[in-house]
Structure 1
């Protein structure tokens, strides 16, 4: 969990994608998240977290639906949504939290 704290304690917005390789909606989000990361550049981070490899963290954060997307800013969760999202919506949300 200490590594998770380091991931989310950034001055830039951090988009977390809790996913599973066996989940169709998670797979559909891969190109969307690539587009989001490219649009943000170094002004934000996009981090994918495999729920099967990170069961303790997934349980602690009560991940139920996949994908679950969260935005953190300076260690605080500022947005959370389950299900597919489009790139423009995510980019807009992340830009709201830029320094």
Structure 2
């Protein structure tokens, strides 16, 4: 299941374990392509927290991580950013970035 994050819960959710966060917006065509891929990834990898941040609703989070283009996927392990990818990413690319 994909979890939608806000500034209020972002740090607590990403603090432990492996996590992928998709920075997106509803008006972004490539973001709409990324959504179903993330849904499939989440179903296949329940051990990874799969999350989304709406950049229009949470511009401070986008700025904090230097998100300039969307979709941007940022990878975390135990609260530390371990990678970043701009543009649509396939399930295999996400899995490889997270080492799963």
Place the TM-score, normalised by the shorter chain, in its bin.
0.7 to 0.9
Q: Which structure has the greater CA radius of gyration?
A: 1
Q: Give the aligned length.
A: 94
Q: 1:82 aligns with which of 78, 86, 89?
A: 86
Q: 1:29 aligns with which of 22, 28, 34?
A: 34
User: Gapped runs of 5+ residues in structure 2?
Assistant: 1-6
User: Gapped runs of 5+ residues in structure 1?
Assistant: none
Deviation at 1:93, TM superposition (A): 2.4
The alignment's TM-score, normalised by the length of structure 1, stands at 0.88
How do residues 1-99 of structure 1 correspond to structure 2 at under 5 angstroms?
1=7, 3-10=9-16, 12-41=17-46, 43-94=47-98, 96=99
The alignment's TM-score, normalised by the length of structure 2, stands at 0.87
The structure where helix makes up a greater share of residues is 1
What do you get for the CA RMSD once the two structures are aligned? 1.3
